[in-house]
Amino acid sequence: MFDAVRPEDKALILDFGGVISRTLFETHALSETALGLAAGTLTWQGPFAPDTDALWQAMQAEQISERDYWIQRTREVGRLLGEDWGEMQTFVRRARGADVQAVIRPEAVAAIHQAKAQGYKLGILSNELDLFYGADFRARLPLLQQFDVIVDATYTQILKPDPRAYQACLQALGVPAEHAVFVDDQLRNVAGAQRCGLAAVHLDVCLPGAGFAIALQMLAAL
C-alpha cells in the first residue's frame, strides 16, 4: 500500500495573466475610463467573441505568438491616444492604473488562500509577468507574497509551452511533475504541461470558478 502524498509535497502552479488577473478583454470599461476613451471604443474580445477577433484567431492557430497579439493591440490603443506604444507594459500600466486589486480575479484569490491553508506549495509560471506589468508590480500586489516560487520568462526567456519552462518551475518548487497541478487559460500551454507529466486545467475565463474548483480537486486526489 502506497503512502499518501503529503500536502507540502504537492504544488498548485498558476499562470498569471488571465488566470490570477482578469483579462484585458474583461476590463475594457476600466481601460477606457483610465485612458479617457469613449465607452465602447475597445471592441476586440478575444475568447469572449473569437469570431469577431481575427487577430485572436491567428494566435490560437499559432500563426502569431501571444506576445505578438498583445504588442499589436498595444500599438493600436496607443495610436488611439496619438502615442507610440511599443511595450505591453505601457498599455497595462496606463490602462489599469494604480488599483491593481481591481483586476485580480476573486476566484483566484479564494483558490490561492485555500491551497495555502491546505499546505500546498504555490508557484506562478508566466511568460510575461514583469514584462507586461512592470518590475514594481509585485510589491504593489501583496497576494504574490503567498507564492513560494515565481518563474517569469521575462528573465528566463523560456516561454511556455517549452518543456524547460515547466521543468524549471517544478525544480524550484522541489516537487515532481506527478505531484503538481498546472492552470492556464491558453490551451497550448496546458497541452505543454501535460506533455511534461503534469495534471493540468484549461481555465475557461468565462467560468473561472469552476476551473479553480477542478484544479483543487485534482490536487487533493494526487
The 10s digit of each residue's pLDDT in 163-179 is 999 999 999 999 999 99
Q: What is the pTM of this model?
A: 0.89
| Distances in whole angstroms, Cα of residue 38 to Cα of each of 31, 34, 46, 85 | 10, 11, 20, 19
- pLDDT for 194: 98
Q: How much is the average pLDDT of 75-95?
A: 92
If one counts every other C-beta atom within 10 angstroms of the C-beta of residue 82, the result is 6
Q: How many CA atoms lie within 13 A of 78 on its CB side?
A: 17
- pLDDT for 24: 93
163 and 182 Cβ atoms separated by less than 8 Å: no
| Beta pairing partners, 150 | 124
Asked which of 41-50, 135-144, 145-154, 206-215 is least confident by mean pLDDT, the reply is: 135-144
**Amino acid sitting at position 36:** G
DSSP 68: H
What is the residue extent of each domain of the chain? 7-22+104-221, 28-99
Q: How much is the average pLDDT of 81-107?
A: 87
Q: Give the CATH number of domain 7-22+104-221.
A: 3.40.50.1000
Grid coordinates belonging to 118: 491546505
pLDDT for 38-80, tens place per residue?
A: 999 999 999 999 999 999 999 989 899 888 998 999 999 999 9
